[in-house]
């Protein structure tokens, strides 16, 4: 049981965690932290949070667990403010989709309190954002990746593991580097492609007609382009190297397909599509 849970940035991810833990009776009090008072008041109205603060220092000073759920590019100043106020038994975790830069920021900002930090990433979400989009079942049966550091206290890792289990998630541990490589391929690349495809079509002269006649496949494929642009901007820049490697690999494969279509290479096209279908059917 968590006595006081402090969620900094209570949107879809943080709000769904709060809802799940409340439903599981795993938390007594949730305090939401942010700059938009109207948004924080809405979180309380919805029952997602029990109270709110605009000051990180006031909210986190006596919290047992602090969840940092702001965009990855905004985490460093949050860690710095937390470092000055958290007590010796507090546990800090994050929900960022990139771990390398987040860990570097935490290492610098938390300094001698780094042992309390458990880097985390729930592999769950929707294209919607904001606390009103949150729901308690978001993490049911989903994976959460933890990337504890050498300095991370074992008890802190256990606390965050138990928290995510209470929310209905399966917890797995990876190294920071492996996490960023895997997520660049399975999450960051698809989002970058979806945003770019929609933007390409939107810039075409006939874009209104194109979107008017878009079928279900297009909507399914580009759904994630409705995600929070600021969040994905930060992810692209903070996982730059791993994402660039995947973009270059994908560009090479697209060029090969382009050449095959130009050359009417039926065999290449069919083999590619069959391989892709088999891989999709067997693994997803």
Cα 200 off chain centre by: 25
- Strand pairing category for 91-94 and 65-68: parallel
Q: What is the pLDDT of residues 252-267, one digit of tens each?
A: 999 999 999 999 999 9
Residue boundaries of the structural domains of the chain: 2-173, 178-283
Q: Class for domain 178-283, per CATH? A: mainly alpha
Taking 50 as the pLDDT cut, the residues of the chain under it are: none
Q: Is the dihedral of CA 242, 222, 276, 138 positive or negative?
A: positive
Residue 219's pLDDT is: 86
Residue 87's pLDDT is: 87
SS3 (DSSP) at 172: strand
Q: What is the dihedral of CA 248, 252, 254, 256, to 10 degrees?
A: 180
Please give the backbone phi and psi of residue 206, each rounded to the nearest 5 degrees, phi first.
-95, 25
Residue 211's pLDDT is: 81
Buried-state track 88-112, b at ≥16 Cβ within 10 A, e below 16: eebbbbbbbbbbbbbbebbeebbee
Residue 205's pLDDT is: 67
| Nearest CA among 135, 145, 119, 131 for reference residue 16 | 135
What fold does the segment set 2-173 form as a domain? Rossmann fold (3.40.50)
CA distance 107 to 36: 28
CA distance 281 to 190: 18
């Amino acid at each position: 049981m968590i006595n006081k849970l402090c969620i900094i940035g209570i949107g879809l991810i943080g709000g769904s965690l709060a809802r799940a833990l409340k439903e599981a009776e795993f938390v007594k009090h949730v305090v939401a932290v942010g700059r938009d008072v109207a948004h924080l008041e809405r979180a309380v109205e919805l029952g997602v949070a029990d109270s709110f603060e605009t000051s990180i220092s006031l909210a986190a000073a006596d919290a047992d667990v602090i969840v940092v759920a702001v965009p990855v590019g905004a985490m460093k100043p949050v860690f710095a403010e937390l470092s000055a106020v958290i007590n010796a038994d507090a546990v800090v975790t994050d929900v960022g989709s990139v771990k390398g830069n987040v860990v570097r920021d935490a290492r610098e900002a938390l300094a001698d309190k780094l042992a309390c930090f458990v880097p985390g990433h729930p592999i769950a979400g929707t294209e919607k954002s904001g606390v009103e989009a949150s729901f308690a079942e978001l993490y049911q049966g989903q994976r959460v990746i933890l990337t504890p550091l050498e300095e991370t206290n074992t008890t802190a890792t256990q606390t965050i593991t138990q928290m995510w289990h209470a929310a209905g998630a399966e917890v797995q541990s990876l190294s920071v580097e492996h996490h960023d490589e895997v997520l660049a391929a399975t999450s960051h690349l698809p989002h970058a492609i979806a945003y770019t495809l929609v933007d390409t079509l939107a810039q075409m002269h006939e874009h209104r007609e194109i979107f008017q006649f878009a079928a279900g496949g297009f909507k399914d494929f580009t759904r994630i382009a409705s995600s929070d642009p600021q969040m994905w901007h930060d992810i692209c820049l903070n996982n730059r190297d791993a994402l660039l490697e995947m973009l270059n690999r994908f560009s090479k494969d697209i060029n090969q397909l382009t050449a095959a279509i130009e050359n009417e290479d039926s065999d290449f096209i069919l083999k590619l599509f069959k391989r892709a279908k088999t891989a999709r059917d067997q693994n997803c």
